Amino acid sequence: MSTHIPDVLLARLLTAQRVTAFTGAGISAESGVPTFRGNEGLWKKFKPEELANLSAFMKNPDLVWEWYQARRTIIGTVQPNDGHRALVEMEVLFPSCTVITQNVDNLHRRAGSRNIVELHGNIERNYCLSCGATYDGTDLPHTAGVPRCTRSGCTGLIRPDVVWFGEMLPEDEWEGAVRASATADVFFSIGTSAVVYPAASLPLTAKQQGAFLVEINTERTPLTPSADLFLQGVSGEVLPAIVHAVRERRTP
């Protein structure tokens, strides 16, 4: 395993009670899920204002629905990678390990993580805009274009259960994320450009509350100057190397 893990991090991890991992699209890049702002990123090809907000959905629900169906198809063909799996192992390695994700791709859950906070929702869930009835992928009415609700006389539009630009984050998830950030001994910010708020405030909250802040990214971001440690590399290599190094140090 080539990635070197500095002693300063290992020393922190060997005594850590609570570890929090904050993830963005970069952790799923090695699985084949496009990021948003990378060279081949979604926002280079599509306009978020035309696809990822409520007024765009009301104006052209079929277009927005088809776009999410296309993303679901990609996500349905990929698998979690070693980065996701290393975070599952961290749930065993540390007394408390929480994954706070901005990703809607469900790959942390599919990898086996149990302690997950989904800040921006989950693309495999849907709900009716009118009555709130929920639909997972299996019970969606099969129609061309955007499906309509079929519960008790409602015919409302069904939308993906993801947070669109201009929308509030789900309250419970936000409170859980702030708690897991403010109480972390070690906080990893992984594969995120750290530019979308309020999520991007969480690493700073963790640092202010005394956490050792580690950024893992292939590139520097606006968060890098605030990090105690910047590990430049792909998360699918750096995270397994961290797990390996902690295990090695623990083995007498």
| C-alpha distances out from residue 200 to 25, 27, 88, 204, Å | 13, 16, 23, 8
Question: Considering just the CA atoms, what is the radius of gyration of the chain in Å?
Answer: 19
CA within 13 Å, CB half, 13: 27
> Does residue 120 belong to the site contacting ligand APR (CB under 6 A)?
yes
* Chain position whose Cβ is nearest to ligand APR: 26
Give the integer Cα–Cα distance in Å for 177 and 102.
Answer: 11
> Does residue 191 belong to the site contacting ligand APR (CB under 6 A)?
yes
Contact residue for ligand APR among 12, 158, 217, 245 (CB under 6 A):
217
Specify whether 108 is catalytic.
no
CB of 42 to ligand APR, least distance (A): 7
Q: Which is nearer to ligand APR, 30 or 149 (CB)?
A: 30
Give the integer Cα–Cα distance in Å for 16 and 96.
Answer: 9
> Does residue 31 belong to the site contacting ligand APR (CB under 6 A)?
no
Residue 110 contacts by C-beta under 8 Å, 6 or more apart in sequence?
A: 79, 80, 84
> Does residue 160 belong to the site contacting ligand APR (CB under 6 A)?
no
> Does residue 147 belong to the site contacting ligand APR (CB under 6 A)?
no
Q: Which is nearer to ligand APR, 154 or 169 (CB)?
A: 169
Q: Which is nearer to ligand APR, 149 or 207 (CB)?
A: 207
ω into residue 198 within 30 of 0, thus cis? Answer: yes
Give the integer Cα–Cα distance in Å for 92 and 118.
Answer: 20
Catalytic residue selected from 4, 84, 120, 142: 120
Contact residue for ligand APR among 46, 70, 218, 222 (CB under 6 A):
218
Q: What is the signed CA dihedral for 241, 245, 247, 252, rounded to 10 degrees?
A: 160
Q: What is the DSSP letter of 219?
A: S
Q: Which is nearer to ligand APR, 88 or 196 (CB)?
A: 196
* Interface map 80-119 toward ligand APR (x if CB under 6 A): ----------------------x-----------------
> Does residue 221 belong to the site contacting ligand APR (CB under 6 A)?
yes
> Does residue 240 belong to the site contacting ligand APR (CB under 6 A)?
no
Under 8 Å between Cβ of 86 and 10: no
| C-alpha distances out from residue 56 to 7, 11, 64, 158, 195, Å | 49, 49, 7, 14, 22
- Judged by the rule CB under 6 A, the positions of this chain that interact with ligand APR are 24-26, 29-30, 35-38, 41, 102, 120, 191-193, 196, 216-219, 221, 234-235
Residues that are catalytic: 120
